[in-house]
Structure 1
Amino acid sequence: MTPAYTPEFIAPIDAPFERGPQLRWFDALDDPRLNVTAELTAPDFVSIAKAQGLPPFAVLFHAISGASLDVDAFRWRLTDTGEPFRVNALLPSYTVRNAKGHVNFSYVPFTEDLNAFITAYHADKRDAETATEMRTNVETAPTCGQLYCTGLPFLRFTSIEHPRSGGGALAATPNIAAGQWRRETEGQLSLPLSVQTHHGLVDGVHVAAYFDAVRDRLARFARG
């Protein structure tokens, strides 16, 4: 079973969309997606998370999710008929491995309360790991404020492409991938971070702002 969807996840636009020209241009292309992969340098949240008994990836997943609400361009999605709307909450998902080692998806409703988020993270992770069906949540996408995340802690990739199907609403949900981290200077680490978005909604400058937002959230966690 996938998590129940509630309409509070959506805040429809009630005024003309200012990126209308960009949306029409890019959405008419064969593939409107923008893909950017870069190295993120951040405070060593991993050591701090482990010292607190928290899963480091859950802390990173929380920052990745919350940062998408910090940058307004990342809040925008498209309905099935191509109408833009702005989300005010998230149902982010990330990839897990089931008992046979195959991919499945876990869903964790986002809350700013990190402890509550991690409690929900643990609960749904168990369900995802033991599920035999694919937990795709397609019944409620894309209008439930989803954010697609992938963790590859075993690989320090330099680029990545996600499975795709058409443009419009299918391209409007951001795909975020985080790779293997390593410690750099004292108190700092780095990791590859990849962002795939609909270029009609998000430009490169917004991706740069998103990287900054992820870094800022990890820094706030590190400061306690």
Structure 2
Amino acid sequence: MYTKLNLDNWPRREHFEFFRKFDEPFFGLVVNVDATTAYAEAKALGVSFFLYYTHRIAAAVNGIEEFRYRISGDEVLVYDKVDVSATLTREDNTFGFSLIEYNPDFTAFYKGAQQEIERVRQTPGLFTRSFEADNLIHFSAIPWVNFTSLSHARSFTLPDSCPKISVGKMTEVNGRRMMPVSLHVHHALMDGYHTGLFFELLQQKLDEKV
């Protein structure tokens, strides 16, 4: 479900009109987050750390209205909920696109995510399903690399305003478990201020217990 943003009353109307005409309207940054508490909680619960932090990221995304904005023609849709399209790896090291539905209840989210992981593992190819709407984040994990920057392959002719989030290798720094998180967002929909809100909320979610 979605509503349409009233562009006439939107303080960022001029920003929207300006940046949406760019060939490359996305901007991005990488921030190291503290995953110490989240990792310990995942281990205590006996659950996948990947799915644990994926849920925390999805909770932060859904907690900020601008991350639920999507461009549709000349309009901006405001979705009630944003799900996760994660790249899921198979045993042969290929991956397929998935759809993991967000649920604020971690147990429900975890169960649905496990089912989706198994479905992708048993389904060949890249596009393992159709996507009916763009209330998604494009999500990936690169747990082998402690990256400090990241870029994405993109088709500039493909209409796309979904945030893109990637997580890198967790490393220990001064007794804390730190993890790089890359965020790319559409500048017509948000600014650096909103990325700051996201990382602040994400850290809060990682420090909380589910």
Deviation for aligned residue 1:156: 0.7
Which amino acid letter does the alignment assign opposite residue 85 of structure 2?
Answer: S
Whether 2:189 is the aligned partner of 1:197: answer: no
Q: How does 1:141-156 map to 2 (within 5 A)?
A: 141-142=133-134, 145-156=135-146
Match of 1:194, SS state, is strand
Match of 2:181, SS state, is strand
Q: Is the 8 A contact 1:31 1:167 kept in 2?
A: no
Match of 1:110, SS state, is coil
Q: How does 1:1-224 map to 2 (within 5 A)?
A: 8=1, 10-14=2-6, 16=8, 17-79=10-72, 81-135=73-127, 139-142=131-134, 145-166=135-156, 169-170=159-160, 172-186=161-175, 188-221=176-209
Which amino acid letter does the alignment assign opposite residue 116 of structure 1?
Answer: A
Aligned-residue CA RMSD in angstroms?
1.9
Aligned mates of 2:167, 2:74 — CA distance in 1: 29
Which amino acid letter does the alignment assign opposite residue 29 of structure 2?
Answer: V
Runs ≥4 residues deviating over 6 A: none
Q: Is the 8 A contact 2:28 2:182 kept in 1?
A: yes
Match of 2:56, SS state, is helix
Q: Is the 8 A contact 1:71 1:210 kept in 2?
A: yes
**Percentage of pairs with the same residue:** 22
Which amino acid letter does the alignment assign opposite residue 103 of structure 2?
Answer: T
The answer for unaligned runs of 5 or more in structure 2 is: none
Change over 3 Å in CA distance of 1:78–1:192 after alignment to 2: same
What TM-score comes out, normalization by structure 2 length? 0.91
Change over 3 Å in CA distance of 1:66–1:169 after alignment to 2: farther
Aligned mates of 1:185, 1:44 — CA distance in 2: 15
What TM-score comes out, normalization by structure 1 length? 0.86
The answer for unaligned runs of 5 or more in structure 1 is: 1-7
Which amino acid letter does the alignment assign opposite residue 163 of structure 1?
Answer: A
Which amino acid letter does the alignment assign opposite residue 60 of structure 2?
Answer: A
Change over 3 Å in CA distance of 1:193–1:139 after alignment to 2: closer
Aligned mates of 2:74, 2:117 — CA distance in 1: 32
Deviation for aligned residue 1:100: 2.0
Q: Quote the residue 1:4 is aligned against.
A: none
Which amino acid letter does the alignment assign opposite residue 138 of structure 2?
Answer: Y
Q: Quote the residue 1:3 is aligned against.
A: none
Q: Is the 8 A contact 1:62 1:114 kept in 2?
A: yes
Deviation for aligned residue 1:136: 6.1
Q: Count matched residues.
A: 209
